[in-house]
Amino acid sequence: MSRSLKYEIPGIDPRVAFDEWAEKGWASVFGTAAHGDRPKRVLEIGFGRGEFLLAMAASAPEVEFVGIEVSYKRTLKMARKVARAGFSNVRLVEARAEEAIQHLAGPGTLDQIWINFSDPWPKRRQGHRRVIQRNFVGDAAVALASNGHFYVATDDVPYAHQMNEVFSAEPRLENAYAPWPFLPEVPGRGQTGYEEQWRAAGRPMHFFSHRSRGAGNGTTNE
Ligand SMILES: C[S@@+](CC[C@H](N)C(=O)[O-])C[C@H]1O[C@@H](n2cnc3c(N)ncnc32)[C@H](O)[C@@H]1O
């Protein structure tokens, strides 16, 4: 028998509807000033069970974190965890990465984007479903503030090759790990839920880090 979902949120619900967010904008959703020094902004896409986002939010209460997830169930479960922890610096949006990156952050307004162990869709006919594609990475590069970082991790070798090709072709980003395309280990980096599973299964790790060159990204204040 499957366990039923608990819908009530034990505290303030951190979820924001996509349309509401797109209309209000980041500063208004968080209730922070749209002028002067804005808080650092971090986006995690496909947070899954949320371990990584929760750890980041706990360690940096002054930073504004937004988690994007396509799964309703995962967003709901994460909303319960965020509310239970009492984090006021986290918002969650149930959305597809591809739409979120275009509509939830203005040009040059994100300090970090994280995508950990994004589904590799190994069958050739499913390849178009992978999140890391040329247009998506281009949109992410536009959303990054000058010197902002885009971090991606995967255990899948063919997907890692595709990531390398896509990142290498994006002129607005530079490889922070050059001359290596990725690192197999990053000291001090927290682990995600899937990462624990893949490490236990002996799968190889690929950690990418790309920095915005800052050219043509527009303003850094929303
Ligand atoms: C393999 S899991 C990894 C979860 C987590 N990042 C981790 O490392 O433990 C991939 C997650 O990305 C979400 N996802 C897949 N495609 C997505 C998309 N286009 N936009 C947003 N989330 C997506 C899935 O629902 C799933 O939770």
Closest alpha carbon to 218 in 64, 107, 101: 107
May I ask the CATH class of domain 96-212?
alpha beta
Say how many C-beta atoms besides its own lie within 10 A of residue 76's C-beta.
18
Pocket test for ligand 1, best of 43, 51, 71 (most atoms within 8 A of CB): 71
Check whether 220 has a pLDDT greater than 50. Answer: no
Q: Which atom of ligand 1 is nearest to the CA of 195?
A: 8
Provide the residue type at 175 as one letter: N
What pLDDT, in 10s, does the model give residues 122-144?
A: 888 887 899 999 999 999 999 99
Please state whether 156 falls in left (phi above 0), alpha (psi between -120 and 50) or beta.
beta
Catalytic pick from 111, 119, 155, 156? Answer: 119
Residue 44: φ, ψ to 5°: -115, 130
Pocket (CB within 6 angstroms of ligand 1): 45-48, 68-71, 74, 96-97, 116-119, 131, 192-195
Q: What is the pLDDT of residue 166?
A: 98
Enumerate the domain spans of the chain.
Answer: 96-212
Q: What is the pLDDT of residue 219?
A: 46
Cβ–Cβ under 8 Å, residues 118 and 110:
no
Which one is predicted more confidently, 204 or 2? 204
pTM value is 0.94
What's CA 2's distance to the chain center, in Å?
Answer: 30
Pocket test for ligand 1, best of 18, 47, 195, 199 (most atoms within 8 A of CB): 47
Q: What is the mean pLDDT of residues 56-71?
A: 98
Based on the number of CB atoms within 10 Å of its own CB, is 100 exposed (0-12), middle (13-18) or buried (19 or more)? buried
DSSP assignment string, 75-109: HHHHHHHHHHHT-SSEEEEE--HHHHHHHSS-TT-
**Coil vs helix vs strand at 63:** coil
Q: What is the mean pLDDT of residues 95-104?
A: 95
Beta strands 110-116 and 90-94 are: unpaired
Is 156 catalytic? The answer is: no
Check whether 40 has a pLDDT greater than 50. Answer: yes
- Kindly give the distance from the C-alpha atom of residue 131 to the centroid of ligand 1, in angstroms, as a whole number: 9
* Integer Cα distance of 54 and 49 in angstroms: 10
Provide the residue type at 1 as one letter: M
Token digits for 125? 């006919």
Q: What is the mean pLDDT of residues 83-95?
A: 98
**Residues, the chain, total?**
222
Q: Which atom of ligand 1 is nearest to the CA of 71?
A: 25
